[in-house]
Amino acid sequence: MPEPINYYNILGIPFDATDEEVRTAYREAARRVHPDTSKNPDTAEHFILIQRAYEVLSNPDQRSSYDLTLPDVFTKPPVLLSTMFSRSSIQRKSEPQLIYVLLKLSANAGNTKYTNPPLNVCLVIDRSTSMQGTVMDTVKKTAIELVRLLRPEDIISIVSFSDKADVIVPAGTNQDRTKVEKSIQMLNPGGGTEIFKGLEQGFAEVKRYRTPKAVNHIILITDGRTYGDEPACEVLADQAAHLKIGVSSLGIGGKWNDVFLDRLAAKTGGSSMYISKPRDVEILLKEKFRGLGDCFADRAYLKFDIGPGTELRYAFRLQPETSMLEVNSPIQLGAIQQVSKLEVLLEMYIHPVSSERGTINLIKGRLFFDIPHRADPQYSMRVEITRPTSNDPDPMPPPQAIVHAMSQLTLYRMQERARQEVAKGNIKEATRRLQFLATNLISQGQRDLARTVLGEAANIQQNSTFSEDGEKRIKYGTRALLLPSSKEEKGS
Amino acid sequence: MIICPNCRHEEISGAIFCSECGTLLEGLSGFTTQNIPSTPPDQNAEVEEKVQPAQVIPDLEADVSLCVVDTGQVIPLDEREEFTLGRSAEGQPILPDIDLAPYRAYENGVSRLHASIKKQGRQLTATDLGSVNGTRLNGQKIPPHKPCALNHGDILTLGKLKIQILIRR
């Protein structure tokens, strides 16, 4: 039986296209292949198809009966999007207000378990002098173990860098894994830290075998601060995002620039992790690989417009890996895993709402992602987030999931603000914030973290600055509270 | 606009937590710490100081105990170095180590997280955790977030709730 003609593909529009989008696409397509303007004899036939597609899709009745003839794989959304709001309606009033939106994205796969997509991953390893010893030994040992776990279809490349970068394992198919292990063994520390050089090489390696049917990712492992080449790295991250290559980093110890590595993650949908003990490199690197492998849809990003009178103030990914996100379109969200949901919390600021106003548009746009196991991996779906208005405030308390997420995110943001105050030299303000943070941590049973916070409060009073280690312990400690598993963790 | 009941910070309506001090703002009506009118300092101080240490230190493993003055109930402080004092409230994730809710804490203006007591060897200190109605040591208000040394027989007043410190020598 021949496949039915797909009118959506003919117009180049997604299945959930609005009437407006159907019209626009038709007009553009018709202009392109109009028999009067084109000399190509095939266009006449194509033009008729476009006409037919428009006839069917612009008529709601015809469109819905036509939709029934299409295969499931085309009509069933591969990803489910659910939204939760801190309040069900927005009150019409003359003062600004906040509304929180919890977005949950999950694989619409039912009980089907798909084979994990092939990996195309580059490990970019800092081999500056300071990595010598346990850190480098653990990195090497873990890298070798990971190479042994790879399937034949996976591609790994390894770049090491100090003040220059070397490709020690080039990306490629049919890699000789024993040779790869030997090359890792040969890795010897020495030199400075120039992250850009490493990233640039890693980028080149991943780029060569980049395909929408694989997970394309760069993992940077570093313990140092890079000087002067941060802007270049950010440009590179933008290029990576454009080519749908993720960048994640593992920062070891207190010296690396977490703000910078967070930005690289936010730009590409990756993550940044803090490693306080060298031995944790093994746990976190393996976890990262597991996370990359367990991928249903990759490189999800939201391209959107913000509704009039509203602002997106803060965006944070709660799951699977906690990460700050961009607040401007497009927001790179990372991968949608098979097992756990991708959860994002948005804080939206609503300007005063006049008494006549009806529904408020918060976000209008499209969610794009690739599904590696599909013949045609690229997919997009419409996202429209709106709220009705009301004269009275919503009497219901916010849903527990939002309250819980915000209780932890508030602590993370208190830490952020303490850092901002220190940066501005407001030691008194910063101290006060840290003390409040410690009080909250104690109340949650996080005694160790509370102690670190109070230690840093004393530190900033003396030295007007955080200790490098303490600063990161607090940041990643409060961030870790957002993970579902941290509920059981009570101080020692 | 919402005013945080704990630190008086102004938040935009719709905020769920105070960005300053982390207090839950939503659904608080009826659950906030009662603001009790401040009594002139030391009005009762002299009387308080005369309170004799509880007759018998009950036979407990603990070196340190708290005695709720109004009711005479004794709460042992053992197994740990540090304890938070406060009152549990429905729908709140905050649970102090020593829950004073059964001792009419709400009526007495005790915050959900009011103060902490810390043991360091023979040293015992109390710290007010930025509570709404403050903490007094023998009638004198102690500054928030500053540890103050405690001795046997001292009276710690959380809001209006009086607690005597008992230390076994």
Instruction: Read off the pLDDT of residues A184-240 as tens digits, 9 standing for 90 and up.
Output: 999 988 888 899 999 999 999 999 999 999 999 999 999 988 888 999 999 999 999
Whether residue A435 and residue B130 make contact (CB cut-off 8 A), yes or no, is yes
List of residues 6+ apart from A468 with CB closer than 8 A: A254, A255
- In a mutational test of the B interface, the residue from A409, A410, A487 whose CB has the highest number of chain B CBs within 10 Å is A410
Tokens 């002139």 -> residue: B40
pLDDT at res. B48: 40
Chain A residues whose CB is inside 8 A of the B22 CB are 407, 410-411, 414, 436-437, 439-440
Q: What is the ipTM of this complex?
A: 0.82
Chain-centroid distance of CA A85 in Å reads 21
Whether A267 contacts chain B with CB within 8 A: no
Q: What is the arithmetic mean of pLDDT over B84-108?
A: 82
Whether B107 contacts chain A with CB within 8 A: no
Judged by CB atoms within 8 Å, which residues 395-424 of A form the interface with B?
397-398, 402-404, 406-407, 410-411, 413-414, 417
- In a mutational test of the B interface, the residue from A394, A404, A443 whose CB has the highest number of chain B CBs within 10 Å is A443
More confident residue, B28 or B151: B151
pLDDT at res. B30: 32
Low-confidence ranges of chain A (pLDDT < 50): 1, 486-492
Whether B143 contacts chain A with CB within 8 A: no
Whether residue B14 and residue A440 make contact (CB cut-off 8 A), yes or no, is no
pTM attached to this predicted model: 0.74
Chain A residues whose CB is inside 8 A of the B112 CB are 443
The band of B43, judged by pLDDT with boundaries at 50, 70 and 90, is very low
pLDDT at res. A222: 93
The tokens describing A60, both together, are 């709601």
pLDDT at res. B34: 46
Please state, rounded to an integer, the average pLDDT across all residues of chain A: 89
Name the residue facing B12 among A97, A437, A445 (closest C-beta): A97
Nearest CA in chain B to A394: B14
Chain B residues whose CB is inside 8 A of the A437 CB are 22
> B56 pLDDT exceeds 80?
no
Burial (0-12, 13-18, 19+ Cβ within 10 Å), A120: buried
The answer to whether A382 and A16 have CB atoms below 8 angstroms apart is yes
pLDDT at res. A2: 57
Chain B residues whose CB is inside 8 A of the A91 CB are 13
More confident residue, B125 or B89: B125
- CB pairs below 8 Å between A and B: how many? 84
Peptide bond into A330 cis (omega under 30): yes
Chain B residues whose CB is inside 8 A of the A491 CB are none
**Long-range pairs, B149-155, Cβ under 8 A, ≥24:** B149/B123, B149/B124, B149/B125, B150/B117, B150/B124, B150/B125, B150/B126, B151/B124, B152/B53, B153/B51, B153/B52, B153/B53, B155/B48, B155/B49, B155/B51, B155/B69
The tokens describing A397, both together, are 């308390």
List for chain A the helix, strand, coil content (%; round to 5): 40, 25, 35
Whether B76 contacts chain A with CB within 8 A: no
More confident residue, A467 or B94: A467
> Closest approach of chain B CAs to the CA of A410, in angstroms?
6
Chain A residues whose CB is inside 8 A of the B116 CB are 442
> CA angle at residue A277 from A271 to A278, to 5 degrees?
85
Chain A residues whose CB is inside 8 A of the B17 CB are 406-407, 410
Whether B145 contacts chain A with CB within 8 A: yes
Chain B residues whose CB is inside 8 A of the A393 CB are 13
Q: In percent, how much of chain B has pLDDT > 70?
A: 75
Nearest CA in chain A to B80: A492
> Closest approach of chain B CAs to the CA of A390, in angstroms?
14
Position A253, amino acid: G
> B55 pLDDT exceeds 70?
no
List of residues 6+ apart from B148 with CB closer than 8 A: B125, B126, B127, B137, B142
Whether residue B17 and residue A398 make contact (CB cut-off 8 A), yes or no, is no
Please state, rounded to an integer, the average pLDDT across all residues of chain B: 77
pLDDT at res. A245: 95
Name the residue facing B1 among A95, A435, A437 (closest C-beta): A95
Whether A345 contacts chain B with CB within 8 A: no
